[in-house]
Structure 1
Amino acid sequence: MNKPIRKFLLTCALLFSFPGIVSAGAGGEMTPIDLQTLVKPNPISLREASTLVGREDITFYDVNTLEIWADGHVPGSVYFNVKRWKRLLPENKDATLIFYCANQLCDSSREAAVSTMELGYTNVFHMADGIWGWRQRGYPIERP
């Protein structure tokens, strides 16, 4: 048997041995798409965020634990890790909102930003370096 035919037959045998791996269509009912994978907040650097602190038209949201927030947070930031978080959002859905948590390993702030975007807020940012990156850069912090 020549080499191309043997290769073809081997490929067919492998494909039919594992029927669920290569098939067209899902074969089931349609399910909703997880918006967490599609909606992504705008990234913002520590340097850029530091220039926005104190502006009345911009709100920083700290999504850390209460202990981390109390140990120091971006000046003027709102503690966001609460059950009734929707009450903390402004009425204006075009307001600039910046979310952060501890560091790049913490995903809570990105999830909070995405949930806010799903409510229709359009100017949402995620400061991935978080409060630890903020402190490492020597930016000012505030304590309650």
Structure 2
Amino acid sequence: MMNNVIRQSLIGGLMALSLGGISLPAIAGGGSDISEAPYNEIQLNPISMREAETLVGKQEVYFFDVNTLEIWAEGFVPGAVFFNVQNWRELLPKNKDAVMVFYCANRLCTASNMAARETMKLGYTGVRHMADGIFGWRMSGRATEKP
């Protein structure tokens, strides 16, 4: 009995090691069919919560919250603009060099990644991405506003 358990563990381990040498394409799924993860040539410019906090309330600095309305209503970075709208281009500043910080819920949320990249495609150079999102912001005890 014990030998069978050890043998199965060894076989499983060896199979895992042998499969590790096979190169498979990166795949992503979210409840739908599995497909290859998109590759983005536009690299994001990350910003830490500590650095972002020093920019809150400063001139020519814009915070864009790309969350759902439900998450937005629970609180957002002070001064942030709700960005998850159809006419999002109208929310962008005229100055293409202005600092803009995009965030969504947390590191698992990709809405702010997409919004930041789309903004960069329009020629904006000061785009930053705060990956920890509003949940990281709140959990760290930083101040929030509510609509």
* TM-score computed with the length of structure 1 as normaliser: 0.74
> Do structure 1's residue 133 and structure 2's residue 127 form an aligned pair?
no
Residue aligning to 2:104 = 101
> Do structure 1's residue 85 and structure 2's residue 88 form an aligned pair?
yes
Match of 1:71 among 51, 71, 74: 74
Q: Please report how far the alpha carbon of residue 41 of structure 1 lies from its aligned counterpart in structure 2 after TM superposition.
A: 2.0
> Do structure 1's residue 121 and structure 2's residue 127 form an aligned pair?
no
Q: Please report how far the alpha carbon of residue 125 of structure 1 lies from its aligned counterpart in structure 2 after TM superposition.
A: 0.3
Q: Counterpart of 1:42 in 2: which secondary structure?
A: coil
* TM-score computed with the length of structure 2 as normaliser: 0.73
Q: Which runs of 4+ in 1 moved over 4 A?
A: none
Query: What stretches of structure 1 of length at least 5 have no aligned partner?
Result: 1-34
Match of 1:112 among 92, 110, 115: 115
One-letter code of the match for 1:132?
F
Equivalent-residue separation in structure 2 for 1:52 and 1:130 (angstroms): 15
Cα-to-partner distance string for 1:18-58 (whole Å, 9 max, x where unaligned): xxxxxxxxxxxxxxxxx961102200001110111111210
One-letter code of the match for 1:50?
E
Cα-to-partner distance string for 1:83-114 (whole Å, 9 max, x where unaligned): 00000001111010000000000000010000
One-letter code of the match for 1:39?
I
Equivalent-residue separation in structure 1 for 2:40 and 2:76 (angstroms): 28
Equivalent-residue separation in structure 1 for 2:108 and 2:96 (angstroms): 28
Equivalent-residue separation in structure 2 for 1:92 and 1:133 (angstroms): 29
Equivalent-residue separation in structure 2 for 1:55 and 1:122 (angstroms): 18
Check 1:106–1:59 CA distance in 2 against 1; reply closer, same or farther (3 A cut). same
CA RMSD of aligned residues (A): 1.2
Question: What is the aligned length?
Answer: 110
Q: Counterpart of 2:40 in 1: which secondary structure?
A: helix
